[in-house]
A = this chain, B = another copy of it.
């Protein structure tokens, strides 16, 4: 039997080039949506509802008992309660609760994958790297690694994560995809010191976030398997 295929999509603006309908789509938004999602679910959040704008997030806050969260330009968005940092969602706060999270790039890509009829959608970040890889290997289905990027531009951290996945699962897939090889090469170069690599390359996102004093957040988002759960998107919610 032929192996399933794996492709890396470096920007949401390239998603249309790939066949989504028979694939598992891994939504990757390392800084910080999919890192926060893994953390909140690992710490016992009942479910996470990803929404694409602040107004919709506030609306949920009026209709159901939930935590509303999201940032714009690195600050908690006006009208919402919390931000995008993993550190805001420890177990003693988030356990058993519903988190309604608005993010820009990650949520947009997730909704695009839904609209295009993805077989299954999961979210990935370094914090849940092993859970993602183990699942992809076990499922034996075609995979699309979807990098959320930044306003459709390619970014370093999402590409690095895609490369980490490729390096772990490649024996199980047929990979005729230069983006995957590029991502893997990047990851191999960087893996011994992901933070140092990001800093040395002056990654645009690194730069943007450290300007808001979030170095600690970035370092955390680059740690493997600290929130090793598998968030799956079902009926408009992310659950494990």
Contact = CB atoms under 8 A, between A and B. Distances in A.
Contacts of A11: 11, 14
Contacts of A185: 185-186, 189-190, 201
Most buried by B among A13, A178, A186: A178
A176 interface: yes
A182 B204 contact: no
Nearest to A11: B14
A160 to B, nearest CB: 9
A212 to B, nearest CB: 16
Interface string A214-237: 000000000000000000000000
Nearest to A155: B178
B176 A156 contact: no
A152 B156 CA distance: 20
Most buried by B among A17, A153, A154, A186: A154
A76 interface: no
A207 B174 CA distance: 14
Interface in A174-211: 176-179, 181-182, 185-186, 188-190, 201-205, 207
Contact of A159 (B176, B178, B207): B178
A205 B182 contact: no
Contacts of A207: 176
A10 interface: yes
A151 interface: yes
Interface string A114-158: 000000000000000000000000000000000000011111100
A186 B176 contact: no
Contact of A178 (B188, B190, B204): B204
Given A153-B179, A154-B178, A181-B202, 4 more contacts: A11-B14, A13-B13, A14-B153, A154-B179
